C-alpha cells in the first residue's frame, strides 16, 4: 500500500514530467493497454487476458509490456509532431521487489 507522502511525490513527479515535455512542444498520447498482437520480445512474458464478447467471438488479448509500437504508429501518422506517454506497462514472470514490479509506469 502506498502512503500519502509517496502518493503526493509520485503525482508531483508525473505532473513535472508532463510540464517538461509540453513546454518542449510534445503531444501527450494515450495508447491502448490491451492488444491482440504485440511485438515479439523473447525476454518478456506477456499477460494474456480473455475478452468475452457477448455479441461476437471471444478473443485473447494481452496487457501491453510497452507503448512503443503504438507510439511509433503515431509518429508515422504525424512525423512532425513529437509525442510522449506516461503509460502503464505489464510484464509477467517479473521478479517483484524494490526494483521490479509486474505493473509499472
76 versus 98: which is more confidently predicted?
Answer: 76
- In this prediction, residue 15 has a pLDDT band, given cuts at 50, 70 and 90, of very high
Q: Are 65 and 89 in contact (CB under 8 A)?
A: yes
Cβ neighbours around 56 below 10 Å, total = 7
Q: Is residue 102 pLDDT above 90, yes or no? A: no
The residue written with cell numbers 509477467 in the block is 92
83-84 vs 103-104, strand pairing mode: unpaired
The dihedrals phi and psi of 88, each to the nearest 5 degrees, come to -85, 140
Give the pLDDT confidence of 30-88 residue by residue, as tens digits: 999 999 988 878 888 888 999 999 999 999 999 999 899 899 999 999 999 999 999 99
Mean pLDDT of 16-42: 92
pLDDT at 75: 94
Q: What is the pTM of this model?
A: 0.79
Confidence (pLDDT) at 62 = 93
Contact 91, 65 (CB under 8 A): yes
Joined together, the cell numbers standing for residue 96 give 517483484
Amino acid at each position: 500500500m502506498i502512503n500519502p507522502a509517496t502518493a503526493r511525490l509520485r503525482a508531483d513527479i508525473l505532473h513535472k514530467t508532463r510540464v517538461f515535455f509540453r513546454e518542449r512542444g510534445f503531444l501527450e498520447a494515450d495508447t491502448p493497454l490491451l492488444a491482440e498482437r504485440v511485438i515479439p520480445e523473447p525476454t518478456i512474458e506477456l499477460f494474456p487476458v480473455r475478452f468475452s464478447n457477448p455479441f461476437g467471438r471471444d478473443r485473447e488479448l494481452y496487457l501491453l509490456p510497452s507503448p512503443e509500437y503504438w507510439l511509433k504508429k503515431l509518429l508515422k501518422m504525424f512525423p512532425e509532431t513529437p509525442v510522449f506517454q506516461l503509460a502503464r506497462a505489464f510484464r509477467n514472470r517479473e521478479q517483484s521487489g524494490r526494483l521490479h514490479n509486474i505493473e509499472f509506469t
